[in-house]
Amino acid sequence: MQKLRLGVLGSGKGSNFRAIYEAIGVGRLDVEVAVVISDVVGAGILKLAEEAGLPTAILDEPRYKTRLSLEVEEHLVSVLQTAEVDLVVLAGYLRMIKEPLLKAFPRRIINIHPSLLPKFPGLEAWKQALEAGEKTAGCTVHYVDEGMDTGEIIVCAEVSVHPGDTAESLHARIQEAEHRLYPEAIATLTTPQSPIRNPQSYWLAFAFL
């Protein structure tokens, strides 16, 4: 069976990308990274990809902070399609995904969010959990839709909030959980039964709900 090809999008240091790539390297994840793309020049995720000898691309979007313009997102779609990407993986990508990408990759875009969704969508979710007095935080892998962290949940991992936790200490433990969970979640999508491998099975099942 042909390996799934990932297109990884990120805006920051790339720690989740590193975890995915290391999982590939030790044989825990049987996929290949087709391209790594960032909307930030000089982002750490690009440096990691370049060190690994992977193809990279930069999105030039000076007009908006939280999304891409229509033409830039259409260019992103073109880059991903040219790289023959099967699954789009958001790894610390900080812009909302809009129609061009959602239409081109239906149910083939996933994200990892540092909370137990649907609680605490948006930025700095670990701070939101701490300020709310939660005893349990965590992370969630989910499909991406047009909303902010509103897509169907694939899998979650819980992280206990310790007495005396700071935002930094809690975030660090959540990131450790993310680095375990994301490769595991992607691995579940490589099976013949997954909607990525067999999209018709999902749409047929959905039609009979």
Over the stretch 53-68, which tens digit does the pLDDT of each residue have?
A: 999 999 988 899 899 9
State how far the Cα of 101 lies from the Cα of 79, in Å rounded to an integer: 11
User: What is the arithmetic mean of pLDDT over 141-165?
Assistant: 97
Q: How confident is the model at residue 3 (pLDDT cuts 50, 70, 90)?
A: very high
- Predicted confidence at residue 201, as pLDDT, reads 45
User: What is the arithmetic mean of pLDDT over 168-174?
Assistant: 98
Q: Partners of 90 in the beta sheet? A: 9, 111
List, by residue number, the catalytic residues. 113
- pLDDT per residue as tens digits for the range 4-33: 999 999 999 999 999 999 999 999 999 999
User: What is the arithmetic mean of pLDDT over 145-152?
Assistant: 96
Percent of the chain with pLDDT over 70: 94
Q: What is the pTM of this model?
A: 0.92
The C-alpha torsion from 84 through 86 and 92 to 93, rounded to 10°, is 60
